[in-house]
């Protein structure tokens, strides 16, 4: 049972050669910018397929395609929509206010409102507006707004000044729509449900050359645009073919200037891609363009041009980087792509291109998009490619959709690594060669090497296109956008919240509701106090698992789309749930609203979800009878988009930064979900069945039988009993586990039976083997153990095989029988690496910072690879972390095999084998050649949480204090509150030379006396101590009982009939961590250690020196309170009372 050692061979060169041999028409590089005249339909209108838009100064630019009858092809077109009007809804008061803001007895009339609005119009220098009385409905979270009322609808131009969103008057209490954008108004009022054909009437040919499109028109009213009816025989129903460009660049880091410079650019252009055709693929007709430039004015290697002359496809050779960029922009303009595809194009390539074009003064740089620009957007500081492109940078490409396969894989592919090499192997079964960025310059020394680098660049553009087609990014995002009615470019960037927002905007606007205004991000995030809001309500119910290894059939029952079904079953909506008494600012209010009365009219949300569910059922019914493979793929994409849209609806209700955030509705939905799951468990147990686990929308039942027919009978019996209790809620048999290893909540592995093909496979949930921070050797070892446990061989034999495997594994590791790739650990960055305060404790952060120093962009969300090596000078394992490329460059580095055996191999296999009686940690560690004595002692410690325990020294500062209440002192000068961050100043703030690191108020910049801060610190700490002393006990079951009574039954809930467990809401650990946070906030010793090593000129370090005495005074206050806290004292007699003597 020897572990497998694999060596892979690169095969990308052969594939590249076959692609290069495909004949394609040669294309000219340059294009004149002459506009093309297209023919109208009877001179009355023309048909326009729009797929992108941008707002600027109150006008909206729609980008899309029209059909050029003369040349018989689709060309790009820009439609400028002018004279879009602001739409404000002014809510009149019932009684007029006097000059002091007090309510009078005088009733408000519309004339009173109009007169006051006239004075406001003059004050804000608004030239003119139109007003009328309208009736509208409101059903959202703004207090004191009636469900139905008469509003003063006010319409005026975007050219005039915007009114403040919080403006009120004597005659009106609220104005809605002050910050609504022209683009949103156009999309919602003209009912533009994603990319579609539009009919444009009364237009004029534009002479302004505002875009790079082949033709331009403008209209003077949004009402001249209408969505084409599907019943109109004169319209084009098919989606036009798209021009798709797959773009890839190679860069070198100029170490003198610390900037990434572009040396090769390659573009693969597909002139006609039918996104809904399943036959579209990366090998279809295309044109390849490749540009290479000299490296620092050094001549190309001898024989290079002769090699290029033998190629079937031409490579353009240019003298410098600016020439390369100018030629690339010319190619983009000539090919005029609708979609630009790349892997990590948004995260790296686009940022580099914009930085280099701005630095070199590239002509016509805005050709990377379709709108002409003279003003540059604000680019990120530093070398290009060091961070993900900002929204402002991405708008430069408006009119050319960005399809980034890196971000697409994040959303639609389950993978621990979204790198191009890994995804190529995983999805395309292609072995891609990795070329380290710092070695690229060396490829310019030899002609064959440089040609190899060019081919590699070309092949990467091919891989990006192949991944795009494989993941079906374009058809899937197109369908999602059509369902939601938002911008396709936003869907391609993974903006799920944006899709939900526009779907609800369309739905409620169509029913004459006033929709909630866009909340300022910081206002919603910080609330009134400046602290980040938390989800202060219970989520789904997770039943306590009956841990163990089960060798009889386990029945899995699952509710279909539980939360969307609950919304429909109980008619839960903004319009039906009474939320008058609910205050979102009251964090302690856990009262759940009442279920709407059954007599109420069906709400907007249930209607919407019903429509989505019915449409999906129709599509699935067609799939069952469809025999056309192409149509099947298209139908599957449609049903998948409908499912994703319906299932994501609940998320916008509970997300506090959502425009449609409604905490009480989210609480009601999850409360009903917990109740339904608990009732289902009770029902199954009343029938005599053993429920061993349940999570949110599913339960697992131990059937105690080896007969699958009996299992099905049990499943159908429970299914029938549950479903008859509800109208729309349905529970289904989701599967059968032949064997199951249940470890704890959300952690299990099971042998699943697939009836369709009589095959079995192992399903893994939450266990170490599915997490990316474990190396391949660890994952392989865990998988081997699972294979043995779930096999049909005798238990004793399987345990024997496990021991034999572990012995050979440890021997192979110590004898260097495995490659470095087997030791790679993956961990993602939760924020930009320079923003971590505890860099020394974070191995992936240290590696990321070294990568950035080499010119490789690393930012939040990226996955960092590292290997732990031996190093006599560095004791911390985090300081001994190196990127795999660093091992290749430094032969002296040796992998720390003992660390891997102790920290990567043993812990996960111990957790897997814990329920297995025939083995234990002592025997497993002995097989690995480790010190078994300490594991033998641990066998006698009865602690259910041992497996999940992590030493606090191994926890990052961010993770340790993520749930504490931040310190929010108040300035005695300006009376404003602010979050005191101490020395943890963000890197962006440090770039501001005027930023002062001291005890000054960030609002008024005046110094706050230490005595004031000390007094406020005392009050804050005492508040937390008081909260601990007054803490209530909460039940973890669906009754959610709150009480201060102590139960004579220990931790058993006092509520009649409830079997839940009660525990303190504010625990001693929470108080201890809060005090520790205050100490950390003023710890000058630690801050000096952290920032001295990073940069001696760092103002955080200098600030710690200058204000050390003040910091120490505040730290002493926190220290004194901590000394009185007994949590840090350990009762050793209690810990070791279960230990036994070993002979």
**Helix 1010-1029 crosses helix 1068-1081 at what angle (to 10 degrees)?**
170
Per CATH, 16-20+241-471 and 961-1031+1066-1133 having the same topology is answered no
Residue 233, pLDDT above cutoff 90: no
Give me the architecture of the 519-764 domain, per CATH: Alpha-Beta Complex (3.90)
Closest by alpha carbon to 938, among 967, 957, 908, 914?
914
Question: What residues have CB less than 8 Å from 676, skipping those under 6 apart?
Answer: 559, 562, 566, 729
Instruction: Give the model's pLDDT for residue 966.
Output: 87
Residue 940, pLDDT above cutoff 50: no
Handedness of CA 311, 314, 320, 321 (dihedral sign): negative
- Residue pair 149/110 in contact (Cβ under 8 Å)? The answer is no
Question: Average pLDDT, stretch 365-387?
Answer: 84
DSSP H helical ranges for 815-920 = 843-853, 884-889, 897-900, 906-913
Strands 401-404 and 554-559: unpaired
pTM of structure: 0.77
Question: Average pLDDT, stretch 131-155?
Answer: 93
Strands 242-254 and 259-273: antiparallel
Instruction: Give the model's pLDDT for residue 8.
Output: 39
Question: What residues have CB less than 8 Å from 732, skipping those under 6 apart?
Answer: 557, 558, 559, 560, 719
Q: How far apart are CA 476 and CA 492, in angstroms?
A: 10
Kindly provide the b/e burial profile for residues 203-215, where b requires at least 16 CB atoms within 10 angstroms of the residue's own CB.
beebeeebbbbbb
Instruction: Give the model's pLDDT for residue 131.
Output: 93
CB atoms within 10 A of CB 376: 14
Question: What residues have CB less than 8 Å from 255, skipping those under 6 apart?
Answer: none
321 backbone dihedrals φ, ψ, rounded to 5°:
-70, -40
Question: Average pLDDT, stretch 799-805?
Answer: 93
- For 385-444, give the DSSP string: TSSPPPHHHHGGGTTSEEEEHHHHHHHH---S---HHHHHHHHH--PPPP--GGGGGGGG
Q: What is the pLDDT of residues 192-203, one digit of tens each?
A: 999 999 999 999
Q: Just give the CATH number of 16-20+241-471.
A: 3.30.420.10
Q: How far apart are CA 685 and CA 680, in angstroms?
A: 9
Domain ranges of the chain: 16-20+241-471, 37-239, 519-764, 767-953, 961-1031+1066-1133
Residue 564, pLDDT above cutoff 90: yes
Closest by alpha carbon to 477, among 685, 294, 644, 671?
644
Q: What is the pLDDT of residues 1044-1100, one digit of tens each?
A: 776 655 677 766 555 567 778 788 888 888 998 888 888 877 766 655 555 555 555
The 3-state secondary structure of 134-159, one letter per residue: EEEECCCCCCCCCCEEEEEEEEEECC
State what percent of residues in the chain have pLDDT above 90.
49
Instruction: Give the model's pLDDT for residue 1038.
Output: 46
Q: Structure tokens of 734?
A: 């989701």
CATH 3.30.70.2820 fits 37-239, yes or no: yes
Instruction: Give the model's pLDDT for residue 126.
Output: 95
Least confident stretch, 502-516, 665-679, 904-918 = 904-918
Helix, strand or coil, per DSSP, at residue 340:
strand
Q: How far apart are CA 122 and CA 1, in angstroms?
A: 86
- pLDDT class of 761 with cuts at 50, 70, 90: confident
Q: What is the pLDDT of residues 369-379, one digit of tens each?
A: 999 998 998 88
Give me the architecture of the 961-1031+1066-1133 domain, per CATH: Orthogonal Bundle (1.10)
Helix, strand or coil, per DSSP, at residue 701:
strand
Q: How far apart are CA 180 and CA 162, in angstroms?
A: 10
- Residue pair 670/540 in contact (Cβ under 8 Å)? The answer is yes
Q: How far apart are CA 258 and CA 813, in angstroms?
A: 40
Residue 255, pLDDT above cutoff 50: yes
Please tell me the class of the 767-953 domain.
mainly alpha
DSSP 79: E
- pLDDT class of 830 with cuts at 50, 70, 90: confident
- pLDDT class of 495 with cuts at 50, 70, 90: confident
Question: What residues have CB less than 8 Å from 236, skipping those under 6 apart?
Answer: 47, 49, 67, 197
Least confident stretch, 54-68, 162-176, 880-894, 928-942 = 928-942
Instruction: Give the model's pLDDT for residue 16.
Output: 66
Question: Average pLDDT, stretch 556-568?
Answer: 93
- Residue pair 204/215 in contact (Cβ under 8 Å)? The answer is no
Q: How far apart are CA 445 and CA 513, in angstroms?
A: 68
Instruction: Give the model's pLDDT for residue 1034.
Output: 76
Q: What is the pLDDT of residues 974-1007, one digit of tens each?
A: 888 888 877 655 444 444 444 445 578 878 888 8
Q: Give 256's Cβ-side CA count (13 Å radius).
A: 1
């Amino acid at each position: 049972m020897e572990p497998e050692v694999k060596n892979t061979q690169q095969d990308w060169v052969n594939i590249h050669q076959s692609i290069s041999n495909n004949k394609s028409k040669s294309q000219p590089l340059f294009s004149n910018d002459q506009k093309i005249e297209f023919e109208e339909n009877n001179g009355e209108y023309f048909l326009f397929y729009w797929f992108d838009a941008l707002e600027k100064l109150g006008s909206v630019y729609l980008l899309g395609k029209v059909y050029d009858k003369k040349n018989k092809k689709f060309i790009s077109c820009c439609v400028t929509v002018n004279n879009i009007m602001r739409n404000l809804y002014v809510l009149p008061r019932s009684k007029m206010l006097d000059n002091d803001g007090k309510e009078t007895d005088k009733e408000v009339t519309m004339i009173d409102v109009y007169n006051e609005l006239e004075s406001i119009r003059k004050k804000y220098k608004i030239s003119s507006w139109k007003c009328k009385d309208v009736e509208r409905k409101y059903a959202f979270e703004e207090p004191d707004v009636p469900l139905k009322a008469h509003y003063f609808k006010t319409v005026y131009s975007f050219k005039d000044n915007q009114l403040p969103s919080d403006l009120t008057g004597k005659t009106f209490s609220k104005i809605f729509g002050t910050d609504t954008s022209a683009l949103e108004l156009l999309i919602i009022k003209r009912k533009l449900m994603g990319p579609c054909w539009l009919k444009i009437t009364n237009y004029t040919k534009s002479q302004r050359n505002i875009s790079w499109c082949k033709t331009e028109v403008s209209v003077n009213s949004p009402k001249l645009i209408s969505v084409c009816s599907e019943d109109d025989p004169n319209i084009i129903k098919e989606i036009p073919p798209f021009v798709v460009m797959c773009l890839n660049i190679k860069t070198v880091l100029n170490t003198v200037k610390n900037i990434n410079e572009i040396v090769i650019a390659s573009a693969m252009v597909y002139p006609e891609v039918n996104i809904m055709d399943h036959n579209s693929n990366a090998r279809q007709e295309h044109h390849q363009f490749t540009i290479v430039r000299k490296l620092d004015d050094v001549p190309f290697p001898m024989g290079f041009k002769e090699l290029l002359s033998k190629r079937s496809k031409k490579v353009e050779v240019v003298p410098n980087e600016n020439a390369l960029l100018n030629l690339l922009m010319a190619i983009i303009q000539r090919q005029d792509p609708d979609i630009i595809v790349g892997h990590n194009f948004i995260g790296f390539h686009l940022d580099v291109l914009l930085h280099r074009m701005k630095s070199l003064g590239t002509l016509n740089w805005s050709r990377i998009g379709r709108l002409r620009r003279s003003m540059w957007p604000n680019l990120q500081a530093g070398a290009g490619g060091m961070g993900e492109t900002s929204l402002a940078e991405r708008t430069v490409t408006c009119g050319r959709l960005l399809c980034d396969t890196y971000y697409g894989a994040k959303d639609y592919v389950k993978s621990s690594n979204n790198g191009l090499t890994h995804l190529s192997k995983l999805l395309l079964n292609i072995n891609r060669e990795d070329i380290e960025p710092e070695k690229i310059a060396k490829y310019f020394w030899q002609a064959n090497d440089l040609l190899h680098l060019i081919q590699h660049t070309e092949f990467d553009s091919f891989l990006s296109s192949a991944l795009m087609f494989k993941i079906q990014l374009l058809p899937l995002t197109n369908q999602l956008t059509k369902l939601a009615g938002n911008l396709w470019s936003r869907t391609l960037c993974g903006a799920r919240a944006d899709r939900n927002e526009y779907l609800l905007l369309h739905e409620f606007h169509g029913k004459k509701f006033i929709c909630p205004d866009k909340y300022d991000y910081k206002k919603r995030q910080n609330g009134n106090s400046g602290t980040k809001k938390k989800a202060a309500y219970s989520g789904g119910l997770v039943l306590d698992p009956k841990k163990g290894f089960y060798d009889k059939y386990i029945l899995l029952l699952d509710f279909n789309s539980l939360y969307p079904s609950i919304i429909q079953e109980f008619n839960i909506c903004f319009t039906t749930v009474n939320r008058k008494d609910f205050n979102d600012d009251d964090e302690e209010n856990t009262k759940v609203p009442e279920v709407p009365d059954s007599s109420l009219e069906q709400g907007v949300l249930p209607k919407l979800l019903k429509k989505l569910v019915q449409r999906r059922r129709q599509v699935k019914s067609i799939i069952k009878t469809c025999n056309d493979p192409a149509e099947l793929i298209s139908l599957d994409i449609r049903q998948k988009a409908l499912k994703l849209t319906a299932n994501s609806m609940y998320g916008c209700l509970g997300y506090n930064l959502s425009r449609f955030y409604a905490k009480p509705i989210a609480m009601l939905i999850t409360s009903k979900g917990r109740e339904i799951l608990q009732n289902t468990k009770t029902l199954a147990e009343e029938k005599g069945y053993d429920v061993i686990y349940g999570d949110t929308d599913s339960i697992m039942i131990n059937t105690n039988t080896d007969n699958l027919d009996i299992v099905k009978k049990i499943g159908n019996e429970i299914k029938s009993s549950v479903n008859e209790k509800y109208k729309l809620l349905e529970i289904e048999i989701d599967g059968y586990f032949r064997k199951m290893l249940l470890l704890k909540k959300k952690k299990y592995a099971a042998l699943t039976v697939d009836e369709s093909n009589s095959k079995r496979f192992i399903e893994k949930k939450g266990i170490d083997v599915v997490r990316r921070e474990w190396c391949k050797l660890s994952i392989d070892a865990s998988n081997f153990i699972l294979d043995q446990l779930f096999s049909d061989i005798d238990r004793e034999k399987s345990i024997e095989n496990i021991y034999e495997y572990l012995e050979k594994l440890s021997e192979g590791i110590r004898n260097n029988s495995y490659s470095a790739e087997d030791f790679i650990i993956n961990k993602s960055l939760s924020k930009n690496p320079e923003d971590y305060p505890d860099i020394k404790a974070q191995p992936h952060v240290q590696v990321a910072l070294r990568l950035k120093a080499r010119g490789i962009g690393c930012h939040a969300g990226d996955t960092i690879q590292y290997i732990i090596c031996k190093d006599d000078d560095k004791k911390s394992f985090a300081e001994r972390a190196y990127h795999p490329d660093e091992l290749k460059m430094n032969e002296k580095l040796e992998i720390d095999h003992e660390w891997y055996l102790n920290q990567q191999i043993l812990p996960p296999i111990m957790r897997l084998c814990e329920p297995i009686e025939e083995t234990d940690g002592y025997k497993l560690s002995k097989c690995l050649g480790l010190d078994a004595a300490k594991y033998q002692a641990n066998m006698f410690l009865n602690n259910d949480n041992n497996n999940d325990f992590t030493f606090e020294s191994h926890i990052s500062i961010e993770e340790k204090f993520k749930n504490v209440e931040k310190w929010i002192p108040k300035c005695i000068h300006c009376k404003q509150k602010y979050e005191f961050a101490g020395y943890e100043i963000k890197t962006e703030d440090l770039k501001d030379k005027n930023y002062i690191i001291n005890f000054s108020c960030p609002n008024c910049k005046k110094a706050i006396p230490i005595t004031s801060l000390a007094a406020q610190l005392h009050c804050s700490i005492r508040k937390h101590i008081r909260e601990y002393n007054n803490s209530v006990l909460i039940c973890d079951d669906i009754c959610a009982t709150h009480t201060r009574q102590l139960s004579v039954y220990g931790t058993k809930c006092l509520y009649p009939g409830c079997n839940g467990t009660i525990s303190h809401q504010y625990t001693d650990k929470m108080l201890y961590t809060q005090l520790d946070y205050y100490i950390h906030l003023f710890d000058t010793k630690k801050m000096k250690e952290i920032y001295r090593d990073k940069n001696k000129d760092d103002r955080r370090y200098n600030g710690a020196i200058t204000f050390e005495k003040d910091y120490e005074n505040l730290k002493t206050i926190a220290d004194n309170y901590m000394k009185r806290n007994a949590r840090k004292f350990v009762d050793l007699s209690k810990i070791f009372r279960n230990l036994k003597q070993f002979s």
